[in-house]
Structure 1
């Protein structure tokens, strides 16, 4: 179980660059 399972993470500027990388990393760890 990940620390981000069933958690919501809001990322602004997630279409490219570090925002996209952060969004993908959180999604891999179970964040919504």
Structure 2
């Protein structure tokens, strides 16, 4: 179980570059 399971993560600038990579990583972790 991930520490981010069922948590809300707010990332600004999530459509490109590092923001997009962070969004994809957190989604994979179940956030």
Could you tell me the TM-score, scaled by structure 2's length?
0.95
Q: Which runs of 4+ in 1 moved over 3 A?
A: none
How many pairs does the alignment contain? 31
Classify the secondary structure of the residue corresponding to 1:27. Answer: helix
Distance 1:6 1:22 in 2: 16
SS in 2 for 1:18: helix
RMSD: 0.3
Give the unaligned 5+ runs of structure 1: none
5+ residue gaps, structure 2: none
